[in-house]
């Protein structure tokens, strides 16, 4: 059965992007806020991006 399931772990390098924030303080703040909210940084970035795009479409 090994090799039959191509899950998220096996494709992580194909989906990886690096994002640089403006400062180390901003990075630490983001980690703190997402941690308190129970979100991963990835989930937070995706939801923020989607919300921003929806807001632009509504205007």
Instruction: Using a cut of 0.75, tell me whether the model's pTM lies above it.
Output: no
pLDDT the model gives residue 6: 59
In a domain, residue 47? The reply is yes
Domain that holds residue 45: 23-58
Into how many domains does the chain fold? 1
DSSP 4: S
Q: What value does the CA radius of gyration of the chain take, rounded to a whole number of Å?
A: 16
Say what the pLDDT of residue 5 is: 56
pLDDT of residue 1: 43
- Whether 7 is covered by a domain: the verdict is no
Residue 51 lies in a domain: yes
Residue 42 in any domain: the answer is yes
CA distance 46 to 29: 17
Determine the Cα–Cα distance for residues 56 and 59; give it in Å rounded to an integer. 5
Report yes or no on 6 lying in a domain: no
Maximal C-alpha separation, the chain: 50
User: Which pLDDT belongs to residue 37?
Assistant: 92
- pLDDT digit string, tens, across residues 1-56: 455 555 677 788 888 888 899 999 999 999 999 999 999 998 988 999 999 999 99
Burial class (CB within 10 angstroms; exposed 0-12, middle 13-18, buried 19+) of 39: middle
């Amino acid at each position: 059965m090994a090799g039959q399931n191509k899950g998220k772990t096996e494709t992580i390098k194909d989906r990886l992007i690096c994002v640089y924030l403006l400062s180390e303080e901003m990075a630490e703040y983001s980690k703190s806020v997402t941690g308190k909210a129970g979100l991963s940084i990835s989930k937070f970035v995706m939801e923020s991006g989607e919300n921003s795009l929806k807001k632009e479409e509504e205007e």
